[in-house]
Each structure stands twice: as C-alpha cells, then as structure tokens.
Amino acid sequence: MTTSTTSAPAEVELAIGGMTCASCAARIEKKLNRMEGVTATVNYATEKAKVSYAGDVSVPELIATVEATGYTAREPEPVRTGAGSGPGGAETVDELRPLRERLVTSVVLAVPVIAMAMVPALQFEYWQWLSLTLAAPVVTYAAWPFHKAAFTNARHGAATMDTLISVGTSAAFLWSLWALFLGTAGTPGMTHPFELTIARGDGSGNIYLEAAAGVTAFILAGRYFEARSKRKAGAALKALLELGAKDVTVVRGGREERIPVGDLTVGDRFLVRPGEKIATDGTVVEGSSAVDASMLTGESVPVEVAAGDGVTGATVNAGGRLVVEATRVGADTQLARMARLVEDAQNGKAAAQRLADRISGVFVPVVIALALATLGFWLGNGSGPAAAFTAAVAVLIIACPCALGLATPTALMVGTGRGAQLGILIKGPEVLESTRKVDTIVLDKTGTVTTGRMTLLAVHTADGTDEADVLRLAGALEHASEHPIAQAVAAGATERAGALPTPEDFANVPGLGVQGVVEGHAVLVGREKLLAEWAMELPAELGRAKTRAEAAGRTAIAVAWDGEARAVLEVADAVKDTSGEAVTRLRALGLTPILLTGDNRAVAEAVAAEVGIAPAHVIAEVMPEDKVAVVKRLQGEGRSVAMVGDGVNDAAALAQADLGLAMGTGTDAAIEAGDLTLVRGDLRAAADAIRLARRTLGTIKSNLFWAFAYNVAALPLAAAGLLNPMIAGAAMAFSSVFVVGNSLRLRGFKAAD
C-alpha cells in the first residue's frame, strides 16, 4: 500500500487485531510513535492504524512493533468495487459466536451459583459442591479471554481491565478451592456465613464462587453488547463499493457479451439499457438519455447526456440506450475515490477515549497495589493468612468493574431501543460525546430537507384554457415517456385529474421533450425551445410564470396543442412538510443550521427560505468531494459540526463530521457512515436524535459515576477488614442492578410534540 520510495514520508494503513479497549489503541500508538521518523494514529473503533514513516523504516518493521506490543497487524486488502468487495461481515460474525457462547454459558451456570450463595434457604447439604461444579466452567472456559489478555498484557508489563477481572475472579475461585478442599467449607451441611466483618483467623469456611462466576457473566455481557455495536463498523465502505454494477454488457466485434465489471479495461465499449447502472466512468459514444446521478452527485434533476458527454459509474440510465467507452476502471473510478474518502474520514477520527478506560489506566494498578498492601498489613499484624487473604480478595472483588462493564452497553441498549421506536438509530457510545458538543448542523438538501423526488408543484394556464385539459393531455403524453420529469408530470396529472387517455401517436424529442397526438390534438410538452421549433411562443403571462419558476430553482415545462401555447408546469424536488419545523427545533437545541447542496444557488436559496434558513447559511453548487472540504472548513473555524444526509455523495462528509446523521430513506453507504440514523426520513427526528443521544450520554456518565462511587466507598472498608467478601459480592451485584435500573429510565424518553 506504500506509494513512495523516495526520502519523503510514506504512508501505510494497518489493520490491527486483538484490541479490547481504547487503552490498547493508546499503547500501540505510543509504541509506534517511539520509532524514529514514525507518526501514527490508531483508531480503536475502526481497528486501523494510519502510519506515516520515513524511508529508513519498513512496513514489516511497523508490523513487528505492533506484534511486539501483544497485538496483530497486517496490511488490509486493496480497494475493489463490485460484488463481494469491501470489508465483509463473516469474520466479525465468527468472532461474535464464541463470545456469545461464553456469555450464554456463564449466565446459565452463574445464576444458580449466585442464587444459592445469596439465599440461605437454597443451601442444601452439598450445595457448595454443586456451586463449584457450576462455577468451574465459568471461571475457566467463559472467562478465558480475560485470562489470556491479562497474561499477554503481563508479558509486556501492562495492566488493563482484563488484568483486574482475571486476578479478581481467579483469586476468588482459587480461595474457594482452598476453602473447600483444605478448609472447612466442604463440610456437608455447611451454610454460607453472612458476616459484615472479618474475624482474625476467619476465612477457611468461606467460598466466593458466586463472585467469581457473577463478575465473569456481567463483564461478558458488557463485552458482547459492545462487540455487537461495533459489528458493522466497516459496512459503510462495503455498501459504497457494492453500489456499482456487478456485471456489464460489452460490445466486441459487433457482438454483445456479458462479463463481470472487474474484467473491464480502459477503452472497452459497453451497452447500458434503460434502468441499468452505468458500469464504470466513461464517455458516451452512441445514443442519448437522461442519467440519474442523485446517488453520487446529489443533483435532484437527471442530467441529459449524448455522444461525447462523460458519465460516472454507479449512476442510473433513466432513458434511452447508451453505448459508453470506459475511461477509468477499478480503483481509479469516482466511486472508488469516494470510498477512499469515506475510509480516510473514518480513520482520521480520534480514537474514542472512554471514561472507564481512561480511569482504568490508574484504577487497575492502584487496586492491585491496594490488595497487596492489604494482604501485607493483615499478615504483619498477626491476623493470620486466612484473614489476610480474605481481606485482599474482598478488595479485588469489590473493585471488579462489573458495573463499569454494564454502564455503557445497558444505557446504549435502552437508549437505542427507545430510539428505534421513535425512528432513531444510535450506532454506538463513541458518537454520544459529540452530540453534547455540536453547535452547527449541516443539512444536505436533496432527500433530507426535500423529498428527493421530482413532483408536479403548480400549473399555470393561458386565458381560456382549462387546467383539467392541460393535465389530461400533457399527462397522457408524459406517461408514455420514461424520463423522471415526465413521470413526475404524469403522476401529478393522474392524482389531480384521474385516469389519463392513451396517446394515438408518441415521439420522444431528445433533449427537448415529447410530442404526439392525444384525443385528436397535436400536443407538445417540453422546453420552450420545442415550441419555438413549431413557431409557437409563450404568452406574456406564461412567460412570466416560467421566469418566476426558474428563479425559484424549479423546472418549467411548456405545454401546447393545436398550434397554441396553453400552459406552463412547474416541477421540482418538493420540500418535506416537516422540514421547517425541524429547523426550528434544531435551533432550539443551540444549533446553527446550514443548507448544503450540489444544486444551483437559486434552488438552494428558495428551499432555504421555505424552511427558515438565512441565505448567509446556504452553501450551494458543491461537488461530492467538496462536501468533505466544507465540513473540514467549518471544523477549522472552531465549530463542532453535525451533518445530515442521505446519499452516497454524503457518506464521506458524514464520516468526516463530528456527528453524522443519516436519513434512513437514503443509501446504505450513507446510513452506515452516519453515527445516528433517522429511520423515518423525517428531519424532525434529527432534533429528537440529538436530544436522545445527549440523554443517553448523561445516563452513561451517571452510571460510570455510581459504579466508581461504589468502589471508592467500599475499597477502604474492604481493606480495613470491615467488609466480608460476601458483602463485596452483594455490593457488586447491587451496583450492577443500580446501573441497569438507571439505564431503564431512558424508556420514558418522549419525542417533542
């Protein structure tokens, strides 16, 4: 993937494996940046490292440095378009399956262990041996990822959450084994003592299997929900790459042959029938048509193309038959370049520094040190090894971060569940912090503020002409055309005038409109130039209506029959009824709305005026690549930017923005690149989404606060011998219940009326 062999810095992107928290990314980044001439950014969310390095450093050396830190690294597959391209989901599914199996195993086995330990009525004669039988697979098999990660971290002189979980569960389990086989806990009929404090010499009759099994189950649940939220992290790029055509009809030696798009070469000529996607970037050599490029450019009006005009891969041929000569294929196409933009924007984001992981960098070694100090203190004052070890285990158990593991996923699950009921999807905890900071929201026009579909908006008739006649005759003729604007006229005419007659004659006039005979009338529908070719002019009032329509950014269509101009139709991408109210709600949240579009300024300002956005906050005539630049420019001005869009052309900008909101009515690429998805396609949901995300973030922070508060309050008690490990286990369980209960309050969130 390196592109330079000179002394100038080269760049490489590495796929990183084995990271379990944001602190892992920080460790890798720190190791890489210690290498001379290397500048690295490691993104935990995308599991990639973007590295700039001098000529003296090689890619194998970079990979070796990552592996020496305890993780894996490799160069990702090259960018390809077409079927099967992009990062797949099979590998992620395979990674989730063993985690899910461990979670199910731990829950099924841990529940009866906890129940027997906490409810004396369930403690039958040999209950402790049943608890051991059930807890052993939990601590060994289910908790194996924690033990493995802790061992790897220890080899490299590091300690993480995995270290604390592994040490705590192992200590509780090993002590229980000692108490059962060498102490008095294995005596038939033994009941679990429930003492608040530790007596000198006490401990040989206590077992802590419920703490070992319960902690494992709780943490696995948190890890599983986190993994699910990251499951589709690479799906945006895949959706973008797979947007292109999968196969194509090439014309060779006068014969048509169907081949995979990947076999196309520059100079090949290929056929594009009406309704088909254009396979790759090229130049039209035969035919004329209207090309729907809205998926890539955001333009609401299809573009007329003829011989000599350039076309872009993945756009749709909406009209006639075209023969195109390929000019760019594979990684050189506009679609592939946009895919790289999305990838670069995603990898350019700072790694999510979660509060729990930041604190764990200090919390974990402090707890281990406190446990060792507790052990030494109790041994030093002559209390005996049993009491000393019991107190140390109590410290480790009370500090086990089960509530920390649940703080984010439970709030996220409840918040996303409530959001789904309201048409809002929150991708993960990484995006929530941005919702608190955003002060500017960029609204893509097409499909976001507007419907994204051409609609008949108005009919202007000449004196003495009945509107119903205009709709019936023009609609009948347009119904026979496949052009998107014609279909909008036909749909509008049918809605207003009912069933349409069948034309007795029909002809398409490329680039101008259509003509034919309807109910004995010679009818023309199209541009004013079409009427001019038949020596007809628009009357003054229709001319003024046409001028006003075009000034407002709408498409004006002239209608004539029997030698006279009869009407002007206005067709445009209609503004959604709810967009104005949505803009008002966004302002109420302290956000500045900015309208962004690839359309001309007249169209943009007309739409902005309708929804209440000032002309100064309109950015028009923006190409897809420039949308990313606009977001970057706003960020460079010190703004925290949210972006709302729905097209493939918005995907890179959504990824670049501090907060991306994708309309659910849009493309998969845009949806997956966004941080929040508005399923209903209603812009009002953007305000609700930001409110819900902010509320969810607040819940996560309060969960984390209380999770740590329990630890901070209980650690001194445990170290002083005032907290039996049984109480520690109960406090651990209660802290988790508290966190879950706090998260469930999000179910009461309501959308604004």
Total domains, the chain = 3
Question: What are the pLDDT digits (tens) for 686-737?
Answer: 999 899 888 988 888 888 788 778 777 878 888 887 776 556 655 665 676 6
Q: Is residue 48 part of a domain?
A: yes
Tell me if 627 sits within 8 A of 655, measured CB to CB. Answer: no
Q: What does the pLDDT average to over 67-75?
A: 87
Range of lowest pLDDT (123-127, 147-151, 361-365, 466-470):
361-365
Same domain flag for 225 and 359: yes
Listed in order, strand segments (DSSP E) in 329-444 are 424-426, 440-444
pLDDT band of residue 240 (cuts 50, 70, 90) is: low
Q: Is residue 680 part of a domain?
A: no
Q: What does the pLDDT average to over 428-433?
A: 68
Alpha carbon 650 to chain centroid, angstroms:
13
What is the structure's pLDDT at 345?
Answer: 41
Q: What does the pLDDT average to over 28-40?
A: 88
Q: Is residue 140 part of a domain?
A: yes
Tell me if 646 sits within 8 A of 670, measured CB to CB. Answer: yes
Question: Which residue did the predictor score with more confidence, 301 or 81?
Answer: 301
Q: What does the pLDDT average to over 40-69?
A: 84
The two structure tokens encoding residue 335: 């679609």
- Look at strands 247-252 and 255-260 and give their pairing: antiparallel
Q: What does the pLDDT average to over 429-447?
A: 83
Range of the domain at 267: 246-279+281-328
Same domain flag for 299 and 367: no
45, 74, 103 — which closes off a domain?
74
Q: What does the pLDDT average to over 439-460?
A: 87
The CATH code of the domain that includes 33 is 3.30.70.100
Same domain flag for 272 and 306: yes
Q: What does the pLDDT average to over 438-459?
A: 87
Question: What are the pLDDT digits (tens) for 650-660?
Answer: 778 888 899 98
Same domain flag for 294 and 358: no
Residue 444 among the catalytic residues:
yes
Q: Is residue 666 part of a domain?
A: no
| Calpha distance 417→205 (Å, rounded) | 45
Q: Is residue 156 part of a domain?
A: yes
The chain-wide mean pLDDT, for the chain, equals: 80
47, 74, 101 — which closes off a domain?
74
The residue annotated as part of the active site, out of 444, 599, 646, 688, is 444
Same domain flag for 161 and 285: no
Same domain flag for 40 and 120: no
Res. 455: pLDDT tops 80? yes
The CATH code of the domain that includes 318 is 2.70.150.10
What is the structure's pLDDT at 338?
Answer: 60
Same domain flag for 213 and 156: yes
Same domain flag for 225 and 250: no
Q: Is residue 573 part of a domain?
A: no
Range of lowest pLDDT (440-454, 523-537, 653-667):
653-667
Same domain flag for 119 and 149: yes
| Calpha distance 465→664 (Å, rounded) | 43
Q: Is residue 304 part of a domain?
A: yes
328, 363, 388 — which closes off a domain?
328
Let me know the angle formed at the C-alpha of 492 by 490 and 496, rounded to the nearest 5 degrees.
115
DSSP string for 130-170: HHHHHHHHIIIIITHHHHHHHHHHHHTT---HHHHHHHHHH
Same domain flag for 101 and 175: yes
pLDDT band of residue 590 (cuts 50, 70, 90) is: very high
pLDDT band of residue 122 (cuts 50, 70, 90) is: confident
Same domain flag for 115 and 208: yes
| Calpha distance 129→123 (Å, rounded) | 11
Same domain flag for 313 and 193: no
pLDDT band of residue 440 (cuts 50, 70, 90) is: very high
| Calpha distance 653→673 (Å, rounded) | 9
Q: What does the pLDDT average to over 586-594?
A: 94
pLDDT band of residue 82 (cuts 50, 70, 90) is: low
Q: Is residue 323 part of a domain?
A: yes
Question: Which residue did the predictor score with more confidence, 315 or 242?
Answer: 315
